[in-house]
Amino acid sequence: MTSPNRRLAIKTAAAAVGAVAVAPHLLAQSAPVRVGYSMARTGPWTGGAQTSQEPNYLMWAEQQNAAGGLNVKGVRRPIELMGYDDRSDVETVIRTYQKLMGSDKVELVLPPWGSNANFAVAPLANRMGYPFLAPTALSRRLIEMKLPYFFLLLQQPAPMTNALVDMLKAHGCKTMACIYVDDLFGLENYAALKVALQGSGITLVEDKSYPGGVKDLSPVLRSMKDKNPDAFVGFTYPPDTILASRQAKEIGFNPKFFYASVGTAFPLYRQVITAAGAEGVLGMGSWNGKTSPGAKAYFDAHVASQKKEPDRWASGAAWAGLEILTTAVEKVGLDRKAIRDYVAGNTHKTILGDIRFNGSENVGTPGTVGQWQNGEFEVVWPPQVATAKLNPNKPAW
């Protein structure tokens, strides 16, 4: 079976041949721009990767090619995507990017999905001089590595947990229970939460780590229910986010504030938990169609192109990163150091708002909290970017 990327490459090649037939003297100008990436199409990362990231890569190439190709300093050149399944395996991610940046000699690379994969491959991309605009990496350690070619679109653990704690404090929360996945993402967010709670007046009554791929969280959820906290916080991946929500519903664990992380902003969450059950659930999220006119146009284009909604968190970051990359190539061409310098040195207009970088960190957009309300994942904190007011008492599941 022909993969979507292979079909896109074939379509791109045909476009290039057509351009040559019409205007042979433009052969060099119309050569495809080879853009490579690895992405989880199988394995445990697939849900996140195929919701938040690869659909945006495919749509970007589709849109650019429909316009005649990527604008490279005024010359339109078709995009040839080279995408590989990394099978949710870090070693495969590394080998894939070694091939792309080595023997394949792609002009540009797009990042893989997730903090762990980006952490593994970021030093290689930096060493090879490939700008990386990562939409699904959440790690302070990536910032501390000081990799000049690496840029993180998402707000990092401290801004996200500070926003959460500020919101909870402002709405009378006094006690909290927390679970976190035992990996880079979970550990960093848990550590940031502990710092954010200092002096907040909120007491952490129970905290528990769990291994990736967990199949049952009910024992720890029952223990937390017995302590009757005002808030539950889970630093969770999509399967765990759904598992924790389902099992909390089964045991009647319904605190005033129920917050889970990756996957809460997915349309799938609303569908699986059911619209009524999802009502009032909080999570990591940063945008929706009300955020900006560009965000609404992006949402509609995504539905038309990919036949499904984008998620309300990292999908927006993925598209914002592609917006920045597209403008950089238009301004400075395909010289990767010039792209890197343009990204590092400018404030960028995106569907999420103005993004600018201090080192690798996005310091332009704030940490946010989202909440399911009437079938939409609304931004509810901080007030200056909110698309709706917080409902401070989650309805029963």
CA pair distance 177, 179, nearest whole angstrom:
7
The domain limits of the chain are: 4-155+316-362, 157-286+368-385
Q: Which two tokens stand for residue 294?
A: 């560009």
Q: What is the pLDDT of residues 15-53, one digit of tens each?
A: 333 333 333 334 344 799 999 999 999 999 999 999 999
Residue 231 one-letter amino acid: A
Chain CA centroid to CA 17, Å: 35
How far apart CA 348 and CA 323 sit, in angstroms, is 9
DSSP bridge pairs for 209: 180
Tokens representing 385?
A: 């970017």
Q: Is the pTM of this model over 0.85?
A: yes
Structure tokens at 303: 């539905």
Ramachandran quadrant class, 173 (left: phi over 0; alpha: psi -120 to 50; beta: rest) = beta
Report, as ranges of residue numbers, the positions in the chain whose pLDDT lies below 50. Answer: 1-29
Q: Give 246-302 pLDDT, tens digit per residue.
A: 999 999 999 999 999 999 999 999 999 987 899 999 999 999 999 999 999 999 999
Query: Domain 4-155+316-362 is of which CATH architecture?
Result: 3-Layer(aba) Sandwich (3.40)
Which architecture characterizes domain 157-286+368-385 according to CATH?
Answer: 3-Layer(aba) Sandwich (3.40)
pLDDT for the residue 25: 39
Count of alpha carbons within 13 angstroms of residue 300, beta-carbon side: 7
Output the pLDDT for position 275.
Answer: 76
DSSP assignment letter at 351: T
Pairing, β 376-381 against β 369-373? antiparallel
**Sheet containing 357-358: order of strands:** 132-134, 150-152, 361-362, 357-358
Other Cβ atoms closer than 10 A to 112: 31
